[in-house]
Amino acid sequence: MSDLSLFDLTGRKSLVTGGAVGIGRACAIALAKAGADVAIVDIDRKIGEATAKELCGMGRDSFYVKCNVTDRAQVHAMVAAVVARFGRLDIAVNNAGIAILGADEAIPQNEWDKVIAVNLTGTFLCAQAEAQQMIRQQPTEGKIINIASMSATIANCNASYDASKAGVVHMTKTLAAEWGRFNINVNCLSPSYVLTPMHASTPLVARQRIRELTPLGHVERPEDLYGAIIFLASAASNYVTGHDLMVDGGHTLNAWLAPLGRAVPPRISPQQEVVQMKHDLDTMGVRYDKDGINPGLHPEIANAFKGMFGVKD
Ligand SMILES: NC(=O)c1ccc[n+]([C@@H]2O[C@H](COP(=O)([O-])OP(=O)(O)OC[C@H]3O[C@@H](n4cnc5c(N)ncnc54)[C@H](O)[C@@H]3O)[C@@H](O)[C@H]2O)c1
C-alpha cells in the first residue's frame, strides 16, 4: 500500500483569492480534495457562495468572504474573518487577477493602473496580511502560493499584464528569502492559456493553434493545476521556496516555427478541455455555444485573438 501522507492536507486551513471560478476554483477544489478546509475569497458574492457550497458538498468546511484584494483594509478584514472561522491560516493561494488587453502604444493609464493594482499590489497586500497571521500563530509556519503566469517569462499578453506577472514572480523570490526564517514557503505557480471564464471569448482558431504549439497537445484546463497546487501547499514542498512552477504542457519550451506533430492523441480531448469552463459559466449565468464560447464576455480578448489570426466577424 502506498503512503501519500506527504501530500495530505487533512485539517489544514486555507484561503483562495479569486476563488469563485476558473483557476481559483480549481485551486480550492484541489486543496479540498487533499483534505483542507477552504475559504473562498472573491469580489463576486453570488458565484463565491456557490463555490463555497460546492466545497461543503465535498465534506470540507468552506465559506465565502467578500474582499477586493486591492483594498488593504478589506484584505486584513478578510484574513481576520478566515481566522475567526478556522482558528488559523496554513495555506494561502493569491490568485485574483485580471487582464485588460490593448495596444500598448495607446493604452490609457487607468487601465495600466488597474491591472497593476489587482495583479501585483493585490497579491502583495494579501501575502503581507497572510504572513502576519502565519507569524502570529503557533506553530509559526505557512505556505503562500501566488498565481503568476507564463506571461511573467515570455512576452505574451500586453505590457501591464506581463509586467504585473513578472513582478509577482520576483516579489515571490524576495518574500521567500525574507520569510523563510518563519518557516513560511512562498512560491509561484505559472499556468499557460487556461480555459476559464477569462478565455470564454477566445476564438476556436486560437485554441487549435495552442494545441499545435504545445508538446502535450491540449489546451490547459483548470484541472491540470490540481497536482501542482497540492504539491506547493503540502509538506512535499517543505524545502521548495521562491520557485516559479510552470505548468504549461511544455508550451513555453521553445519558439516553435511549425506546428508540432503527434505520435499519439493527447490525453485530453477538445470536449474534455471545456468541462470546468462550462461549469463556471453556468454558475455565472453566462450563456455559451457548444464549444463554451461567448464572444461578448471579454470582447477585448476576443478582438486581440481575432486580429492575430485574421478572423472576421
Ligand atoms: N486563464 C488563463 O489563461 C491564465 C493563465 C495564466 C495565469 N492566469 C492567472 O490566473 C488567475 C485566475 O485567472 P482566471 O482565468 O481563473 O480568471 P477569471 O477571470 O476566470 O476569474 C477570476 C476571479 O477573480 C475574481 N476577482 C477579480 N478581481 C478581483 C479582486 N480585485 N478581488 C477579488 N477577487 C477578484 C473574479 O470575480 C473571478 O472570480 C489570474 O491571476 C490570472 O492572471 C490565468
Q: Which residues form the catalytic set?
A: 161
* Domain presence at residue 217: yes
Q: Categorize the per-residue pLDDT at 97 as very low, low, confident or very high, splitting at 50, 70 and 90.
A: very high
Residue 75 has pLDDT above 70, yes or no: yes
* Domain presence at residue 2: no
Residue 143 identity (one-letter amino acid):
K
Pocket of ligand 1 contains residue 82 by CB under 6 Å: no
* Domain presence at residue 37: yes
Q: Which residues pair with 188 in a beta bridge?
A: 146, 244
* Domain presence at residue 180: yes
Q: How far is the CA of 23 from the centre of ligand 1 (A)?
A: 7
Percent of the chain whose pLDDT exceeds 70: 100
Q: Categorize the per-residue pLDDT at 259 as very low, low, confident or very high, splitting at 50, 70 and 90.
A: confident
Average pLDDT over residues 67-78: 98
The domain total for the chain is 1
Residue with cell string 483594509:
73
pLDDT of residue 257: 75
Pocket of ligand 1 contains residue 301 by CB under 6 Å: no
pLDDT of residue 258: 82
pLDDT of residue 306: 86
Q: Categorize the per-residue pLDDT at 225 as very low, low, confident or very high, splitting at 50, 70 and 90.
A: very high
pLDDT of residue 36: 98
**Measured between alpha carbons, how far is 272 from 31 in angstroms, rounded to an integer?**
22
**Measured between alpha carbons, how far is 278 from 300 in angstroms, rounded to an integer?**
20
Residue 307 has pLDDT above 90, yes or no: no
Pocket of ligand 1 contains residue 147 by CB under 6 Å: yes
pLDDT of residue 313: 67
Atom of ligand 1 nearest to the CA of 150: 6
* Domain presence at residue 1: no
Pocket of ligand 1 contains residue 125 by CB under 6 Å: no
Query: Which residue would you say has higher pLDDT here, 80 or 260?
Result: 80
Q: How far is the CA of 13 from the centre of ligand 1 (A)?
A: 22
Average pLDDT over residues 238-242: 98
Residue 119 has pLDDT above 80, yes or no: yes
* Domain presence at residue 280: yes
Pocket of ligand 1 contains residue 21 by CB under 6 Å: yes
| Three-state secondary-structure class, residue 135 | helix
Write out the residue range of the structural domain in which residue 185 sits: 7-309
Atom of ligand 1 nearest to the CA of 18: 24
**Measured between alpha carbons, how far is 75 from 65 in angstroms, rounded to an integer?**
10
Question: By CB neighbour count within 10 A (0-12 exposed, 13-18 middle, 19+ buried), where does 109 fall?
Answer: exposed
Q: Which residues pair with 92 in a beta bridge?
A: 15, 144
Query: CATH no. for residue 88?
Result: 3.40.50.720
pLDDT digits (tens, 9 = 90+) for 4-24: 899 999 999 999 999 999 999
Q: In what order do the strands lie in the sheet with 37-42?
A: 62-66, 37-42, 13-17, 91-94, 142-147, 184-191, 244-247
Instruction: Return phi, psi of residue 90, to 5°.
Output: -100, -35
**Measured between alpha carbons, how far is 94 from 114 in angstroms, rounded to an integer?**
17
* Domain presence at residue 127: yes
pLDDT of residue 156: 87
Q: Using CA atoms in the order 69, 191, 103, 121, what is the torsion angle rounded to 10 degrees?
A: 20
244 membership: H or E segment, kind and range: strand 244-247
pLDDT of residue 310: 82
Atom of ligand 1 nearest to the CA of 47: 39
pLDDT digits (tens, 9 = 90+) for 142-183: 999 999 999 999 998 899 999 999 999 999 999 999 999 999
Q: How far is the CA of 119 from the centre of ligand 1 (A)?
A: 9
* Domain presence at residue 173: yes
Question: Which pTM value belongs to this model?
Answer: 0.96
